[in-house]
Amino acid sequence: MELKGLGEDNTMGLVGRHRYLEQLEALRFLRTFSITRIPTPLLIKQTKLLLCVPFVLSVALPDPFPACHQPTVIDEKWIGKDKDVKVQMVQCVDIDGTNLTPSSSLEKRQANVCGANCVTNCFLPSGGGPDPNECHVISDALLYDSQNVGALFNLDPATNTSLVTMQYRSCKSFMVNQAGTALQYCRTDWAAVLDWVAFNCQSTQNAHGGNCVANDQRWFIQVQSA
């Protein structure tokens, strides 16, 4: 990841310094990732096994939102400096067989999972993956919203926001909360994960996108063709 923020005279303004520090933090965050290359987007029920022992599966066309049953778009908006990244809130009847009913008052407290480790899976084989440079436009939109809207966002089954998708041209990324309880995540972390998967799961790695699954299986972020 190239660190940006210096002006033409090699000086750093306030905005440039803020962006530089954000990207430096993203680099530190990316050091926690490891990569496992697997064929075709995985079903979450198989995740634990797939992350431990890579093996060959038959190639199948991916579902638009794997693990989300009966997806319904309930809200749509455009984000980023140029308002060119489409964001959709998707309601799922259930995720991976877990009924998304409101949790108890104790469980309704949002668990902040910013900085949590995840394991990267590249989808085999190569061909048909998203343009990583177009994925980077989504990352920039996330960083822009982090500075201008807020650092955190919620994934809460009680408000039908367990699945959030973002799309720019050929690239689609989505984050899925499969914990059944509210989670809170950082926009800068999603941007970092998105860039990492997009640029490291390409044809040069015999891949066409991938995802990053949390170590505790509560959430994952996926990057694929739109």
Q: Is the pLDDT of residue 21 over 60?
A: no
Number of domains composing the chain: 1
Domain for residue 7, yes or no?
Answer: no
Residue 6 falls inside a structural domain: no
Write out the two tokens for 210.
């991938």
Q: Give yes or no for residue 15 having a pLDDT over 50.
A: no
**In the predicted structure, residue 174 carries a pLDDT above the cut 90:** yes
pLDDT at residue 27 above 70? no
| Mean pLDDT computed over 193-206 | 96
Residue 106 has pLDDT above 90, yes or no: no
Query: So what's the pLDDT on residue 210?
Result: 96
pLDDT at 111: 94
Q: What is the mean pLDDT of residues 139-159?
A: 96
**Mean pLDDT score of the chain, rounded to an integer?**
76
Q: State the amino acid at position 33 in one-letter form.
A: F
| Ranges 14-23, 61-70, 152-161: which has the least confidence | 14-23
The pTM for the full model equals: 0.71
Domain assignment present for 12: no
Q: What is the 3-state secondary structure (H, E, C) of the chain?
A: CCCCCCCCCCCCCHHHHHHHHHHHHHHHHHCCCEEEEEECCCCHHHHHHHHHCCCCCCCCCCCCCCCEECCEEEEEEEECCCCCEEEEEEECCEECCEECCCCCCCCCCCEECCCCCEEEEEEECCCCCCCHHHHHHHHHHHHHHHHHCCCEEEECHHHCCCEEEEEECCEEEEEEECCCCCEEEEHHHHHHHHHHHHHHCCHHHCCCCEEEEECCCCEEEEEEEC
> Which carries the bigger pLDDT value, residue 25 or residue 196?
196
Dihedral in degrees, nearest 10, Cα atoms 12, 14, 15, 21: 70
Is 44 or 92 the better-scoring residue by pLDDT? Answer: 92
Residue 198 lies in a domain: yes
Q: Which residue has the higher pLDDT, 3 or 34?
A: 34
Identify the domain containing residue 116 by its residue range.
33-57+64-225
pLDDT at site 25: 54
pLDDT average, residue stretch 131-147:
98
Look at residue 4 and tell me if it is in a domain: no
Q: What is the structure's pLDDT at 197?
A: 97
Residue 16 falls inside a structural domain: no
**Do the domain assignments include residue 24?**
no
pLDDT band at residue 160 under the 50/70/90 scheme: confident
Summarize the confidence of residues 16-31 as an average pLDDT. Answer: 50
Res. 129: pLDDT tops 90: yes
pLDDT at 60 over 70: no
Is pLDDT at 168 greater than 60 in this prediction? yes
Please report whether residue 9 resides in a domain. Answer: no
Residue 4 vs residue 129, higher pLDDT: 129
